[in-house]
Every structure is written in C-alpha cells, then in structure tokens.
Structure 1
Amino acid sequence: MRAGLLIKRICQAIQRWRYLGYDRNIIQRYRAETDRTNLLTLKRMCVLTLALFDLLVVFYGTVLRQTNRVLAVVVASAFVVILYSYTCNLLRSVSAGPIRATRSLVYLISAVMYLCGILSGTLMSGDELGVLPIWMFLLVQISFDIPPVQNALTVIPFAGLYIVVGSMVKSPQHWQLDAVYSILSITVGLYISYHQAHLALENIIAKSNLQKANFALYHTATTDELTGLMNRRMLFDRYDLVLGECVESGHSIACAVLDIDDYKLFNDTYGHPEGDELLRRIGTALRNYRAKTSIDIGRIGGEEFLAVWPEENAARCEQVAEDLRGAIESMDIPHTGAAEHGRVTMSVGLCLLPSTMAHSAYFYADKALYRAKDAGKNRCCRYDPEGGAYRFICCAGNA
C-alpha cells in the first residue's frame, strides 16, 4: 500500500517537473509564445556572433595575417547568416501558432555548441581543465526556455560524451576533475533552467490573463449590456470619429435615429422582463445587420438607437434605413398594446448631409424621427437638406 502510494507520488512529481508545475494542455496552449522567445534569443545570438566574427576577421587578417583562419571565420559567418535568415522566417510564422521546427532548431544549435565545447575541452586543451565545455553545459541551458525533459535529454548525453572522450585523451587526474566540474555545471544548469522556464511560463500566462481581463473590461465599458451593441459613450465616440472623417474628407454623412414604437406600452402589457428580452432580440437583429454592412449602430438609451456612416448615395442611404425598419417588422413579435400594427415595429429618422452641414446630422435625424412617429409610426422619414423639408420613404409595409 505504502509502496504504491510512494510510486504514485513519484509519478506525480515527475509529471509536475516535466510540465513545469502545470499540465500538458497549458504547455501546449502557450508553446507559441515560448517558441517566439527562443527564436528572439537565437536571433540576438546570431547578431552577437556576427559582431564577434567581424572582430576576428580584422584580428586574423591585419594583426596575425593568417589567411586560413580568416577563411574559416568567413565560412562560419555565412552559416550564421543563413541561420539568422531562417530564424527570422520562423519568427514571422510563429505568430500563427507553435512550429515544430523551433524546438528542433534549438536542439541543433545546442548540440553544435556542446560539440564545439567538447572539441575545445578535449582534443584542443591537452591536459588543461576544460573550461569552455564546463561553461557551455551551464550557459546553453539558461540561454533558452527549454522544457525540462528536452533539456535533460540534450545536455546529459553530451556531458557523458565529453567525459568518455576526456578519459581517452587526458590523464585520469584531469578528466576526473573535468567530470566533477561538468556534473556540478549540469546540476546547476538544470536547476536554473527549470525555474527560469517556470517563471517565463508564469509571466506568459499572467500576460495572457491580463490581456483577457483588459479586453473584458473594455468590452464592458463600451458595450450595452442588454443589446450587445455599442453603449452610448462608445456610440458617440464613433459618431464623432465618423463626423470628423467626413468633414476632413469632404464626404457626406448619413445618420439614422431608430426608436421602438410603443415600447412603454409593451412593458406595461408584458412586463419589464419581456421588455428586456425584446431589447435583446432587437439588439441581435441590429448586430447581424451591422456585421453585414459595417455600419456603426449602437443604443442611445431606453428604446432608442443610432446608426451613422459615411455615404454619398441618397437611394442607398434610404435603403439602409428601410432595411433597419424592415428587419424589426419582419421579426413579427406580437404587441397587443400597439393598436396600429399589433406587432413590434420601429420608426426611423434619417438624414444625409454634406460635410459643410455634418455637425447637424444627429439633430435633423432626431427631428425626422418625430415626424415619422407623428405620421403613424413604423415608417422612415428623411430630412432633405436641399429643400429643407421632411419626406417619407415609400415602403411596402406602409402602403
């Protein structure tokens, strides 16, 4: 019993270590951001390496005059340039999601650095302490955000290779000393790398949660709770923006004020919960229309709505107003309190003004709405700036 419990706890501890204290789904969800961080690190390493190679070319070429080494550095620089270009291409792709090639590339670069360190610490160092590979076993681990399993399966085999090769080319005293320092370096690296990757993942999750919270806060601050449309504040911000663009560009502005007919009677007849549900249904219809046309529509307050958009064509402007009115009428929601129609309808006041009169758009649209109400409701009335008159838009529903 105790043995089984102990094994279970060990397995759980391994799982926590493997997934940085989270589960596999969390790791996969934020893998793209981790890949992006590693690619940025690799990109900076390429830039620093190229800068170092430039100095080596100058040093070998002008001071030591060693042509062979200059050529070797130039060839290595070409490889780094190719790596830099490939990394930049991956960075452009990683925004769409995690890329398997990223981890393969990190593994390849880690392997190359370890092999260079092993070569330097064995065949090129004689009986001296292998300083470079010992540092490599630490620095490579903490340079990238590598998952613990991949990190361990990368560094430990190369450390074993270093110790084996060292035992073949160095005296027992020196390769054993190399082995001790390598084990210490790997242990410290594994510890730092784990906590570094864990902290990086925590920061990524916190950043993601903050972005979600900010979006939710922005949505709450700019969206009408009942209808899902823009609220009054956001709506008039959009109105001012469209107004400014029309004045600046010289284009005409179209403005429509919409009002649910006999909404107070609907509330008195069916109750306020049903009145709220009516607003939700109308909000859905207006949102659907907005999605198809990209026209800004929002709730001013109560049962009143506003639509605003840049427009040059009077016929198209009238068609939009009639579409909005007809969308509500076609819902065929019963309204026994409305003696004229027996169902929920909407009246629309409309105006299309040139840029020189654009600042009066809301005023004239509101006036046109009252004309539509006085004329029997469920109709569209448009203010004509040329004659200064109001006229009703012909529609089948009012024939």
Structure 2
Amino acid sequence: MAALDPNQAYVPVLKDTGLAIFAVSVAGGILSAITVLLRTWVRVSSAAFGLDDGLMLGGLAIYLADVALACEGARAGLGSPDAELSAKMATDSRMWLIVWMLLYTCGLCMVKSSICVTMLRIAQTMQYFRICVYTLLAITVASWITTFVGVLLLCRPVAANWDANLLATGQAECASMDAMIALAYTSTASTILTDLACAVLPAFLLWRMQMPLRNKILVGILLSFASFASVSTMIRTPYIEYYRTPLDNLPYHIGNIVLWSNIETAIGLIAGSLPSLRLLINRARKGTQSNDISGSNRRPGDNSDLVTFGSTPVAKGASRVRGRSYKSPTETGVSTTTIFAQGEGDWRRLRDSSSGTRVDSDLETDMAKGIRADYSYQVELSERPSGVRGPAAGKE
C-alpha cells in the first residue's frame, strides 16, 4: 500500500462506518426538514404558531448544520481506521467531532424543549402533570449545560482537543481521559432518561383525553416510534469505552456515536412534528369528502352551504367555505368552567334513601366555594372568503 500524503484532506472513497454516517445523516436531514417544514406551514396557516413550533424549527436548523458537519467529518476520516488516515485527516476528523458534539447537544435540547412546551400548552389544568413536565425540562436544560460546558473545558485552549502539537509543546493543558468518559456517560444517562420521558409522558396525557379509540391507537404507534430515540442512544453507549484507547482507531469507533446520535435527533424531530401533520391530512380528507357530497347531492344552481354557529353565511355566487378541523392531539382545546353561589348558597343534596331533600351543611360550605369542571373539545373554524361581508357588515 502506497504511503499517504500527510497533507491529504479527505479519504478517497467513503466506506463502512464513514459511508453510513454520510448516507444516514443526509437521509435524516431530508426527512426531518420535510416533516418540520410541513408542521411549520400547518401551524402558520392556522394562525397557531407558538413557542414550541419555534423551538422545533430552531432544532431543525441546528440539526441540518450537524448533518453537514457529520458529512464533512466522514470525508475527513470519521468512521475510518487509522491506517487510512493522513496526519491532516487525523487532526481534522477530531476537530469536526468536537464541533459536531457541541451543536448536537444544542439541537437535541431544543427538540426536547419543544416537546415539553407542547405538553405544557395542552395540559393547562393538570397541575401534577405540569410539574412532571417542568422537571423534565429542567433536567434537559441542565444536561445540555453540563455537556456543553464540559466539552469546552476538557482542554484549554479548545483546539488542543484535536491538535496534539499543542500538548506536545506544552502550549495546552487537557483533563484526563477519565474525565471525558465520565462526562460522556453522564450525558448518555441523562439523554436516555429524557428520551424515554418524552415518549411516555405524552402517552399519559393523550390517554386521558376524549379521543376515539382509533386515534389513541395511532398515537400509541407514534409514541412507540419516538421511543426508538432512546434505543439509538443505548446502541451507541458501548462505544464510549474506546475513549480509553485514543491511539487505537478512535475515529473509526467514535464514528458510530455520530451515526446513532444523528439518528436520535432525526427521530425526535419527526416524532415531535407528526401530530401536527394530522391536521393537514384531515384537511385533505375533509376536502375530498366535501367534494364528493356536493357533487352527488347538490341541485344545479344551489349554492347554499351548511352554516354552523359562529360561521359566516356565504353570499350568492361566492366560493364555498371550507372549514378547518383541529383534530390533532396538539390542537385539542381545554376549558375550565367554575360555578359560584352567592352568599351561603342554596344548594341541596338529593338522597335516594329519603323521599324529600336534606341539607348537608358541610356540603353546602364546599359548594359555596364553587364547582369546577374540565372539558376537552375539538374546534371547527370557518374562514370568511375575501370580499364577502356578513349581514351586520352592511349596516350603517
């Protein structure tokens, strides 16, 4: 085998782990971009774009940068054995690894924070559930800060993480490899915990909602898909041990951590955005059903449409109004109704054991404080076509 040029920048041909990093990262980036951008379009067109959508969009932007870094790292030697790397590739592959690691922690934190904010938005009246979500959010942010700062402090200056000459000449100082391994295991344990929580907590939330059984089954399938994020983290865990032997094909083995971490983030982006896409599917299905009904049942020249409470009548000759159905779990509304009695109230409790009514003084006291009922509901909105004015609009 011919000697490698020390200044050679890229591997001649991607193969094995390097090829897997490149191909899987590109595929994950494309699928994530399609899913998140569709989610963004649905939320913006519904005038419902919120903080969780912004966090997910920010997570996508960071993930796409991560994909580019992973691909460049694979070309520079990540996933390749030491025998196939030049001196420049050995240095560059470690540099791309450190930069990728910093962005990976930021992107994953934003994705999980988006899921937490979504759950908080839905569970407006579930106090104990919200405490659990806030705890999960705090663990996610704390894990991100610990990992991000820890990576930056491993070597001073940071460039010593990949430039061995700085250490050889005494211009840099690095922590022991045990510190790196401890940081990696701590980050991995926190990631597995938060991944599982992000899959399990929505299951408890959605199961309590008034949804058809078919929808609950679909949500269960979606959550089982989201649980694969934690599985990918478990798969990459054994490769942390290779940090103990940094001179034994480290870029080759650590490439598997990059591969499975990019899969984890892609799963989080897709699983976190799919519930919002149900609204898009429902719109398309409802539009098809409306066209079928109107074509078979409408009389020639009959432009009348069903007008529901809160909708706008359609003027003669105007285009048909299409309703927007919010049937996604993230589009379910929650209302709270509280009934108060004035003074001591005049509540009476009926008992089956008696022929009349009997006043329970303790119950009266509690009733006077009010009764609260929580409801989950689905909202149907109608859009007023441009140029069409309601009956009241024409009055002076």
Q: Same fold (TM over 0.5)?
A: no
TM-score bucket (shorter structure): under 0.3
Relative to total residues, which structure has the larger helix share, 1 or 2? 1
TM-score, length basis structure 2: 0.26
